[in-house]
Amino acid sequence: MTDALRWTDAHGQAQLVADGELTPLELVDAAIERIERLDPQVNAVVSERFEQARAEASADLPDGPFRGVPLLLKDIAAHSTGDPLYAGTSFLRERDWRSDHDSAFVARLKRAGFVILGKTTTPELAGAITTEPLATGPTRNPWDTARSTGGSSGGAAAVVAAGMVPVAHGSDGGGSIRIPASECGLVGLKPTRARVSMAPDAGEGWMGLSAHGVLSRTVRDTAALLDVMSGAEPGDPYPAPPLARPLAAEVGADPGRLRIGVLDHPAMAGASADPDAAAAVNATAKLLAELGHHVEVSHPAAMGDTDLWAHYGAVVSSSMAAEADRWAEVLGTSVDTLLEPVTAGSVTGGRAITAAQLLATTRWINRYQRRMATWWAEDGFDVLLSPVLNGVPPEIGWLTHPEQRLERTVQLLQYTPQLNITGQPAISLPLHWTAGGLPVGVQLAGAYGREDVLVRLAAQLEQAQPWADRHPPL
C-alpha cells in the first residue's frame, strides 16, 4: 500500500479517505513507513511525532478537505503545540526546545484535516540557499544524493520529492521555496506578501521579505493548500489584496492570452547565464507561444540593479541578529558562541547596521518596489518568465566553501530575491531536466496580488507538459 500511495498527491489521498477506501490511520502509517525507509538516504526529517500522529489519525479529525493527509512542517517559524522547533540550530536541538502554541497557519492546516508527522531540516536560522546545517548534516537531493536540495526549505523539498509525503510546508525569504522546488523537481509558489499571516509571533518576517507556502508535486495541491493557509489574523499590520475566488477554482480555468516577458540570463552585470537554466526558459517560452500567449524578450530594468545585494544583505543580517537576540531572551543566555561561524558572521554584521542605515534601506526598498511594479502596471505585462536558479543543483559542499561561499551564492541567486523585496507572487515549475537527469525549474512571476494568474497559467503548463510521471531514482 505504501508504494501505491507514494506518488499520490494530497487531493488523491484525501479522496481515498472520503471514499472510504482508506482510513486516516492507514495514510499516516504508510507515510511513516516511507519516512523510515527513505529518509536515511536524504536526511530531511529533523524531528518526528509519529505516535502523536497515529493517535490523532485514530481519533475524530476535523472534517476538512484534507482529512487524514500526512504533512511535514519546516523546522523554523512553524509552531505546533508541544512539538520541537530547532530552527536549524544545535543549541535548540540540544535543549529539545518545544513550542507552547500553534502558528496561525499551522492551526489552519490542522483544521483542514492534515496530520503533522514532524519537522524538516533547514539551514541554521534559514540563512542559506543550501540545507547543510552542522547540527544535523546535509540534506541530500533524491535525484542525486551527492547534490543539494537547495534552501532554506531543503528538507521540505526532499520529503516531497522522495515521495514520503505529498506536500510539505516551506517559507521563502529570498527564494527558499522556489529554489528547493527547482532543484528537486517540484511545484513551489511564494505567495504575495501577507497572504499567509505570521500570527501570533510576528507581523512580518525579514521586514516583509519572507512568506509561508508549500512544496508539492501538483498545481492543484499548491493552490488548495494556499487557500487553506491564507487569511488575515487580528492585529496583522497589513493585508494582501483579496483574491476574486479560491485559488483551487483557478486550476483548469482559461488563463486567456497573456503578455509574457522572457529573461533567460542574469540581468545583473558580472554573472553569465547557465546554459541549462537558459534552455529551460527558452523551451518554456516556445511552449507558451504555442499555447497562444504573446511572448517577447523583456524584463523590468530593476532586475539588474546590483545595489540589491547591499540592501537585501542588510535586511537579512539585521533580521538574523534580531533572531539571535530573541532566542537569547527566550533561553536566558547568549547564543552567539553557539552559532555556526557563517551565521555568527551575519549576526555580527547585522548588529553593526545603524537604525539610520536600516531606514535608508527601507527607503531604497520602497523605490525599488515601484520601479519593478511599473513593468506590470504600466508596460502591460502579465507574467515574467525566468530561471529560478542560475544553475543546476550544486554538489553538497559547493555552497559552503569557506572562501567562495558568498561569490557562489550570488552567482546562483540572480532571479529570486527581487520578488521577495517587492512582495510579488512567483512560482517554480518542474518543466526541464538536464541530459544527466537533474531537474531545473522555471519561474513565473506575477503582479502584486495576482496568484490567480500564476495558478491558471501553471495549470495550463502542467496539462501541456505533464511532469507527474517523473520520479527520482531514490
Q: For residues 221 and 210, what is the distance between their CA atoms, to the nearest angstrom?
A: 21
- The two beta strands, 70-74 and 45-48, are unpaired
Tell me which of 47, 103, 148, 152 is the catalytic residue. Answer: 152
Cell match 478537505: residue?
65
Tell me which of 47, 148, 176, 428 is the catalytic residue. Answer: 176
**String of DSSP letters for 363-389:** HHHHHHHHHHHHHHHTS--SEEEEESS
Is residue 110 annotated as part of the catalytic site, yes or no? no
Give the CA radius of gyration of the chain: 21
Write phi, then psi, for 77 (nearest 5 degrees).
60, 20
Cell output for 240: 494582501
Residue 306 in contact with residue 389, Cβ under 8 Å? Answer: no
Strands annotated E in 336-438: 383-387, 426-433
Cell output for 290: 504555442
The H-assigned helical ranges of 291-434 are 308-331, 341-352, 355-377, 405-412, 417-422
Write phi, then psi, for 342 (nearest 5 degrees).
-65, -45
Which residues, 6+ apart, have CB-to-CB distance to 181 below 8 Å? Answer: 150, 157, 187, 188, 215, 388, 428, 430, 441
Can you name the residues that pair with 196 across neighbouring β-strands?
A: 231
What does each C-alpha distance from 159 to 36, 38, 119, 437, 453 come to in angstroms? 11, 9, 10, 19, 28
Cell output for 174: 529570498
Q: Which helix (H) or strand (E) holds 289?
A: helix 275-290
Q: For residues 305 and 46, what is the distance between their CA atoms, to the nearest angstrom?
A: 38
Cell output for 77: 517559524
Residue 324 in contact with residue 288, Cβ under 8 Å? Answer: no
Is residue 176 annotated as part of the catalytic site, yes or no? yes
Q: For residues 461 and 264, what is the distance between their CA atoms, to the nearest angstrom?
A: 18
Can you name the residues that pair with 148 across neighbouring β-strands?
A: 140
Is residue 318 annotated as part of the catalytic site, yes or no? no
Residue 285 in contact with residue 293, Cβ under 8 Å? Answer: no
Tell me which of 74, 110, 119, 190 is the catalytic residue. Answer: 74
What residues act catalytically? 74, 152, 176
